[in-house]
Structure 1
Amino acid sequence: MDSLPATVASALVEADDEADDAAWPARWQALTAVSVELQSLLVTDPGPRLVALIEEIVTQLADGVAASRRHRVELAELAHRVLTTHARACAETAPDPRRLADWLLDLQLHHPEAPDVSLAAYARALDDEGLATYRERAVALFEPLPVIGFGETGRYDRARWALLRVMEELAEYTEDVDLQLLVLSKDLSSGWHYLQVATVLRDNDRSDEALEWVERGLRAVGGRGAALRLIDLAVEEHLRRGSPGRAVQVCREAFFLRPNLDVYLKARALVVHTDDWPPLRAELVQHLVQDGSRLAVEVYRRIVEVELARRGIEEQDLVVEWLAQLRGLQPDAFADYLDHIKSRHVADRELLDELSRRGF
């Protein structure tokens, strides 16, 4: 038993490339034999001494993963295999749970490449006391990490990656929503990350917090990226809460922030069959006229096409008035756009006659 660490140390010494190719099969055989021997000792000689021995060998293998140029994958797999034996040994030996928690955490923090620790495998050995120690220390190390702000490029050095992996596993194992949120909220580099946080909150019946994160996300993205999905989540949540007016307000505010046909259609779907739609539609269209930017004009053109396709007889005059406004906004390109409209509605004699009567 005592000679196993020396065997591992000898097998992990890498030579130059040519010599390594020739020597590796024998070295690998020696390493796998150590793994098999440890499993045998688990049956014949379990106890604290074996646990300490396996910990030493796991650490050696993890060091080997970091140092190896050519055999990192094989060594990582072997380290994971030996760590599985360690978990079984701990389950039978019942070591000090606090010391075990510290060792598992140190192993991961000092060796980000491998192996991955499964807390479920150590549930019996850690017990509540060890898990509390593990959590307390992991959170204390993770909380001070800086948040990656919107639009920033995250710098995931080895230490941050290691802590992130620890926290993700801990959150998954404990099913602790607050831990999951702590992990997610450390990276807010895009709107999709805000959406992740809001979705977790929504799925765990924390509606007010979810909507707060949606608002934060919408302010951050400025109508781009994940904005539509954030709006969808907010609209769905307000409707679920019986607040359709607030759902419409979300769409209105988002449209004013950055005009978008999809947002217009969301608002339309919410109130098109109510008395609230005509004044809201007028407000949205007037915003485009006042904006006058290229984006606003493009959205205006698309809205005209949508309303032409869906209009009722009573709305025909309104659509024609919109065309008149559009001609004022984009005089140089209006003739081509009007030809496009006429060609798409060539069978609509009523519309074509009205356009002709209005001088189009």
Structure 2
Amino acid sequence: MATAGDKVVARGMDYFLAGAVEIIATEKTRVVARVAGTQDYRTVVCGEDEAIGGECSCPAFERDAVCKHMVAVALAANAALVSGKGVVAGPLAEIRSYLAKKSVGALVEMIVDLAESDAALMRKLEVAAAASGDDPKTFVKRMRQAIDAATQTRDFVEYRRVRGWAAGVNAALDGLADAASGPHAAAVIELADHAIETIEAAIAMIDDSDGHGSALLAHAQEIHLQACKAARPEPKALARLLFLRETEGEYDPFTGAAAIYEDVLGEEGLAEYRRLANEAFDALPPRRGRSGERPSFSVEAWRLTSILDFFAERDGDLEQRIALRAKDGKSQWHYLQLAEFCRDNGLDERALGYAEEGLWLFEDDRPDERLVFFTVDLSLSLGRKEPAKAHLWRAFEKDPSVALYDRLRELGGKDAGLRAVDHLMTRLEGARSTRWHFPADLVVRVMVAERMFDEAWKVIRDHGASRGAQETLAPASETSHPREALEVFEEGVEQLAQAGGNPAYEEAAALIARMRPLRKATEHAAYLEALKARHGRKRNLMQLLG
């Protein structure tokens, strides 16, 4: 409960001191209690020392995963231990003792009476009764009803209600799990598949910020797997079902099904799975040619590649794994993945070939710097400095950036830096700045790196530049160009003063201190007086300025 804030802890202390906590049951590291608040809340605190957690039925816990009721229970349990009396057994122990004296018939009547007024308990008992019976039709009917009732949403389920909704679905799945290895295992396969469909449909109608939907799908898929292990369905039929789910499902609970169900499918089922994947993969459109249209990312292609890669890896067929990745060359990123795979398997020459092919095929597009830098680094590792530089220059001349300039400067030295400046100045001819776009920014930053301060300030005067570019140039050139730097600093101070807040004021004060040695003392004093006249009401700023 380290996440509980001071306010929550204080309210929890109030509840504890008011005697609102009634401990119901205790175990070594777990306390169950009833806390009186707006209504009675069931609160559980578990763990020890610093690792304290738990749950509560109140709305605050649904929202924050911690609440004042949990704090109150922890304080009550701790107080009992400190006093030497220990935590009392609570009413639950008395209830257990009372029930133990009742006959089976009396207990049955009590439970049935409770179920009549508790719909959740009624559903749970219906599922348990159906699972224990011999009639498969009744079992399927009751389980299907329970799944449908639990997963229905009627309207959108908001965040604070999702945990309760998910708990109801989990309860239905737990009932299904209890029957997964029993005589109804074959029926459980179909019911688990149905549960996955209904959960997927419901996800669109819940606030799934905490990922309950994914957890429920994983639970249902695990039940499906356990039932398959018990029932051993016909391998080819199972392969066809799993393949359909893996390739067409929206939320991917069956991703990697061939590997997960490998033992159940056996060689016959795996062969069918592979056949289906090969047929679908062969039907995919070929990768784009150099002048072709770029296809959008294909989830189907990605899934099929993953499936066939499993089989190729299972066979130890590296060439097939490379061929699979080579077919999916729909973008520079795909070529990067292919090249990295080859490199990671010790095939540096092939890796470089695929990387260069990707750059060539997409040379009319904006260069993907990840692929460019991969190609450059691998070329250098193979002792090919000149091709590496050529790749950098092609990318820089197509779409220049600071990162590309840095690599060019690293490999080519001062000459490369000057060539980069010349190219950027040529690109700048005829370009116009707008409110949100400053073409001169890059050349200014490169000129700063080259210490071409005169030229950089001239570019700003002629073409304009963003505030960020000016703030990069000003401190770098303040010694040689104090007047220009002061103008930038003064504008920065004004913006920070207008923004307000102590962090902004402290940054403004630091800028003012930096400005002091850049001009005469009388000029600086006059500037401070004018600044104080404009912002004299900002007390914290005035205190920083002395």
- Give your verdict on TM over 0.5: yes
Q: Which residue of 2 aligns with 1:253?
A: 394
Alignment of 1:104-123 (within 5 A): 104-109=242-247, 111-113=249-251, 115-116=253-254, 118-123=257-262
In the TM superposition, residue 85 of structure 1 has moved relative to its aligned partner by 0.7
Q: Give the whole-Å Cα distance in 2 for the aligned partners of 1:343 and 1:155.
A: 49
Q: Which residue of 2 aligns with 1:181?
A: 325
Q: Which residue of 1 aligns with 2:277?
A: 138
Amino acid at match of 1:88: K
Superposed CA offset, 1:57-114 (max 9, x none): 2333233334546796686344213212134236xx5x65433321211344565346
1:301 aligns with 2:437: no
Q: Give the whole-Å Cα distance in 2 for the aligned partners of 1:28 and 1:297.
A: 59
Could you say if the C-alpha distance between residues 343 and 123 of structure 1 is closer, same or farther in structure 2, counting changes exceeding 3 Å?
same
Amino acid at match of 1:260: S
Correspondence for 1:125 among 264, 269, 287: 264
In the TM superposition, residue 236 of structure 1 has moved relative to its aligned partner by 0.5
Q: Give the whole-Å Cα distance in 1 for the aligned partners of 2:171 and 2:445.
A: 69
Correspondence for 1:291 among 427, 431, 436: 427
SS of residue matched to 1:11: helix
The total of aligned residue pairs comes to 303
In the TM superposition, residue 134 of structure 1 has moved relative to its aligned partner by 1.3
Q: Is the 8 A contact 1:11 1:28 kept in 2?
A: no
Alignment of 1:1-360 (within 5 A): 2-3=136-137, 4-14=139-149, 32-41=174-183, 52-68=186-202, 76-89=217-230, 93=232, 96-109=234-247, 111-113=249-251, 115-116=253-254, 118-142=257-281, 144=283, 160=299, 164-165=302-303, 167-168=305-306, 171=309, 175=313, 177-178=321-322, 181=325, 185=329, 188=331, 192=333, 195-204=336-345, 205=347, 206-207=350-351, 208-217=353-362, 219-221=364-366, 223=367, 226-227=368-369, 229-272=370-413, 278=415, 280=416, 283-293=419-429, 294=431, 297-308=440-451, 332=462, 343-345=478-480
Amino acid at match of 1:83: H
Percentage identity across paired residues of the two chains = 21
Give unmatched runs, 5+ long, in structure 2: 1-133, 156-160, 207-211, 314-319, 432-437, 465-469, 483-546
Q: Which residue of 1 aligns with 2:68?
A: none
More strand by share: 2
Q: Give the whole-Å Cα distance in 2 for the aligned partners of 1:89 and 1:268.
A: 65
More helix by share: 1
Q: Is the 8 A contact 2:240 2:273 kept in 1?
A: yes
Q: Is the 8 A contact 2:186 2:227 kept in 1?
A: no
In the TM superposition, residue 132 of structure 1 has moved relative to its aligned partner by 3.5
Q: Is the 8 A contact 1:194 1:213 kept in 2?
A: yes
Amino acid at match of 2:354: E
SS of residue matched to 1:242: coil
Q: Is the 8 A contact 2:181 2:226 kept in 1?
A: yes
- The CA RMSD measured in Å over matched residues stands at 4.8
Q: Is the 8 A contact 2:246 2:252 kept in 1?
A: yes
Q: Which residue of 2 aligns with 1:350?
A: none
TM-score normalized by the length of structure 1: 0.63
Q: Which residue of 1 aligns with 2:123?
A: none
Q: Which residue of 1 aligns with 2:81?
A: none
In the TM superposition, residue 36 of structure 1 has moved relative to its aligned partner by 0.8
Q: Is the 8 A contact 1:5 1:56 kept in 2?
A: no
Q: Is the 8 A contact 1:259 1:296 kept in 2?
A: no
SS of residue matched to 2:180: helix
In the TM superposition, residue 263 of structure 1 has moved relative to its aligned partner by 1.9
In the TM superposition, residue 251 of structure 1 has moved relative to its aligned partner by 1.3
SS of residue matched to 2:179: helix
Q: Give the whole-Å Cα distance in 1 for the aligned partners of 2:378 and 2:297.
A: 34
Q: Give the whole-Å Cα distance in 2 for the aligned partners of 1:271 and 1:253.
A: 14
Q: Give the whole-Å Cα distance in 1 for the aligned partners of 2:165 and 2:408.
A: 70
Q: Give the whole-Å Cα distance in 1 for the aligned partners of 2:456 and 2:444.
A: 11
In the TM superposition, residue 180 of structure 1 has moved relative to its aligned partner by 6.3
Q: Is the 8 A contact 1:181 1:197 kept in 2?
A: yes
In the TM superposition, residue 6 of structure 1 has moved relative to its aligned partner by 2.3
In the TM superposition, residue 148 of structure 1 has moved relative to its aligned partner by 11
Q: Is the 8 A contact 1:65 1:75 kept in 2?
A: yes
Q: Give the whole-Å Cα distance in 2 for the aligned partners of 1:13 and 1:28.
A: 12
Q: Is the 8 A contact 1:8 1:60 kept in 2?
A: no
Amino acid at match of 1:265: D
Could you say if the C-alpha distance between residues 210 and 132 of structure 1 is closer, same or farther in structure 2, counting changes exceeding 3 Å?
farther
Q: Which residue of 2 aligns with 1:315?
A: none
Q: Give the whole-Å Cα distance in 1 for the aligned partners of 2:393 and 2:154.
A: 65
Q: Give the whole-Å Cα distance in 2 for the aligned partners of 1:325 and 1:82.
A: 67
Could you say if the C-alpha distance between residues 78 and 246 of structure 1 is closer, same or farther in structure 2, counting changes exceeding 3 Å?
closer
Q: Is the 8 A contact 1:238 1:244 kept in 2?
A: yes
Superposed CA offset, 1:97-150 (max 9, x none): 433321211344565346425333322333444334313312433554569999
Q: Give the whole-Å Cα distance in 1 for the aligned partners of 2:221 and 2:424.
A: 60
Q: Is the 8 A contact 1:61 1:79 kept in 2?
A: yes
**Higher gyration radius (CA):** 2
Higher relative contact order (CA 8 A, sep 6+): 1
In the TM superposition, residue 5 of structure 1 has moved relative to its aligned partner by 2.1
Superposed CA offset, 1:38-57 (max 9, x none): 2234xxxxxxxx66434322
Q: Which residue of 2 aligns with 1:316?
A: none
Q: Give the whole-Å Cα distance in 1 for the aligned partners of 2:276 and 2:411.
A: 49
Could you say if the C-alpha distance between residues 89 and 253 of structure 1 is closer, same or farther in structure 2, counting changes exceeding 3 Å?
same
SS of residue matched to 2:261: helix
Could you say if the C-alpha distance between residues 284 and 12 of structure 1 is closer, same or farther in structure 2, counting changes exceeding 3 Å?
closer
Superposed CA offset, 1:156-197 (max 9, x none): 8xxx57x755654553575473476269645x4xx6555444
TM-score normalized by the length of structure 2: 0.44
Q: Give the whole-Å Cα distance in 2 for the aligned partners of 1:167 and 1:5.
A: 37
SS of residue matched to 1:209: helix
Amino acid at match of 2:174: T
Could you say if the C-alpha distance between residues 122 and 133 of structure 1 is closer, same or farther in structure 2, counting changes exceeding 3 Å?
same
In the TM superposition, residue 209 of structure 1 has moved relative to its aligned partner by 1.1
Could you say if the C-alpha distance between residues 283 and 38 of structure 1 is closer, same or farther in structure 2, counting changes exceeding 3 Å?
closer
